[in-house]
Amino acid sequence: MSRLPFLFIITGIVGFVMYHAFSLLSLTGWLGDELRGPEGWFHAHLFVLGWATMLATGAVYQLIHVILQTNIYSTGLGYCHYFLFTIGAIGMFIGFIRADVIWIAGSATLALSGILLFGLNMAITLYRASIWNPVTISAACACLYLVLTGLSGMLMGLNFAFGDWNGLHQRLFGAHIWMGTLGWFGMLITGFSYKMLPMFYLSHDFSIRLQKIVLILWNAAVITGVIAFLTGIKGGLLWFALLLLTGALICYVYHLQQIQEKRHKSNPGPGIRWTVYVSRALAVYSMALLIYSAQGMELLLDSRVVLLTGWVYLGGWVSLTILGYASKIVPFLWWTHKYGKFAGRPGTPLMAGMLSEKRINLGILAMAAASLLLVSGILINLAEVMMIGGTLLSMISIVYISNIALVFRR
C-alpha cells in the first residue's frame, strides 16, 4: 500500500492539534475579532488547509482506489503535491503571523502549485477510469472547486499586493470562501458518503435517484452563490443559493435514511452514525436560516450570522464528519498496512479491536456538546460563553485525535 495517504492523514492530525493548541493559547479570543485580520487569517487557514483539507486529501488518495477499482494515475505527482502544498501552507501560516505580504504570496504560490498537481492527477485518474456516477462526478466537482478556490485566493493575493482591482477584491473574497466551503468540502463529503455509508452499513439495492438530485442542487447552489458574489448582486441571489442548498440537504439527509433502511449491519460504528446525525442537524439549521433570512436578504451577510453559520458548517458538519470517518479510515488503513497479509492467521489482531468504539462515541458526543456551547455564545453574543465552549472544544478535540493517532502504535 502506498504511504501517500498516511503522509496527508498524519500531517492533518498534526495540523488539527496545532489549530486547537493555538486556539487554547488565545482562549478562542480571536473569534470575537475581525476575521479578516492576520490572526483570523492564520486560524482560518490552519483549520481549512492545515487539517481539514490535509485529512480529506489523504482520504481521497486512499478511497479513490475503492471507488474506481484502480490506482491513482501518478503516485509521484501525489508526493510532489504533498511537499509543495505542505511547505506552502506552513509558509502561509508564518506569513500570516508575521503579517508579511511577500512571504504569504510566495508560500501561496507553492500551495497552489500543489493543488494544481492534485487536480491534474485526479482529472487524469477519473478520465482514464471513465466510471461516471454521482460519486465520481461529485469527486470531480470537489477537486475542480478546490482548484478554483486556490486560483481565486491567488488573485486576491495579487490584488492585495498591487491593488489594481479594488472593486473586485471583496467579490473574490466571497467567491473564494463559498467555493472552498460549499464546493470543495460539500461535494467531497456528500459524494464519498454515497460510497462509504453503504460500505459500513452493508446496504444494497437502494435507489440512487436522490444522489443525482443532490448533485444538481448542490452544484447549482455553489454556482449561484459564486455568481452572487462576483456580480455583487448578493441579496436575492444569495438567498436563492441558500434555498437550493437547503433543498439539496433535505434530499441528502433523506437519502442517508434510505441507505440505513437497506442496511444489513445494525452497527456501522459510532463515527459513522454521528456523520448522519450532524447531517440532519445541518439540514435543520439551513431551513431555520432560510426562514430567518426571508425577513430581509441582508441578514445573510450580517457579521454575527456569517460567523455563526461558518461555525455550524465548518466547525460542526465538516469537522465532525471528517473526524467520524477518520475513526474508521485510519484503523482500516493501518490494519491493512501492518496486518493485511497476515489476515486469518493466529495472533493477528482484529480490525475492530484497533480503536475503542466507546471512546469514539464519547469523544464526538463531547465535541458536539462543546460546539453547541460555542455556537450558543456566538448566537447570544456573549464572549464568556464562547470562550468556555471554545476552550472545552479544543481540549476535547486534542484528546479525541490523540486517541485516533494511538492506532499507529499498534
Tell me the pLDDT tens digit for each residue of 86-134: 999 999 999 988 888 888 888 999 999 999 999 999 999 999 988 899 9
Residue position matching grid coordinates 446525525:
277
Distance CA 256, CA 351 (A): 25
Count Cα atoms within 13 angstroms, Cβ side, for 24.
13
CB 397 within 8 A of CB 367: yes
CB 49 within 8 A of CB 92: yes
**In which band, very low, low, confident or very high, does the pLDDT at 197 lie, cut at 50, 70 and 90?**
very high
pLDDT of residue 229: 92
pLDDT of residue 243: 97
Distance CA 15, CA 47 (A): 8
How far does CA 236 lie from the centroid of its chain? 27
**In which band, very low, low, confident or very high, does the pLDDT at 32 lie, cut at 50, 70 and 90?**
low
Residue position matching grid coordinates 441558500:
242
pLDDT above 60 for 280: yes
Q: What is the dihedral of CA 141, 147, 150, 155, to 10 degrees?
A: -110
Distance CA 360, CA 404 (A): 9
pLDDT above 60 for 33: no
The pTM of this model reads 0.92
* Choice among 45-54, 142-151, 154-163, 187-196 with the minimum mean pLDDT: 154-163
Distance CA 7, CA 15 (A): 12
Amino acid (one-letter) located at 284: V
pLDDT of residue 35: 57
**DSSP of 356-410:** -HHHHHHHHHHHHHHHHHHHHHHHHT-HHHHHHHHHHHHHHHHHHHHHHHGGGG-
Return the sign of the alpha-carbon dihedral for residues 341, 344, 349, 355.
Answer: positive
Where does 46-100 have alpha helices with state H?
Answer: 54-68, 75-98
Task: Name the 3-class secondary structure at 205.
Answer: coil
**In which band, very low, low, confident or very high, does the pLDDT at 64 lie, cut at 50, 70 and 90?**
confident
Average pLDDT over residues 160-187: 84
CA angle 118, 325, 350 (to 5 degrees): 115
Burial (0-12, 13-18, 19+ Cβ within 10 Å), 372: middle
What share of the chain has pLDDT > 90, as a percent?
Answer: 63
- Of 119, 117, 123, 93, which is closest to residue 107 (Cα–Cα)? 93
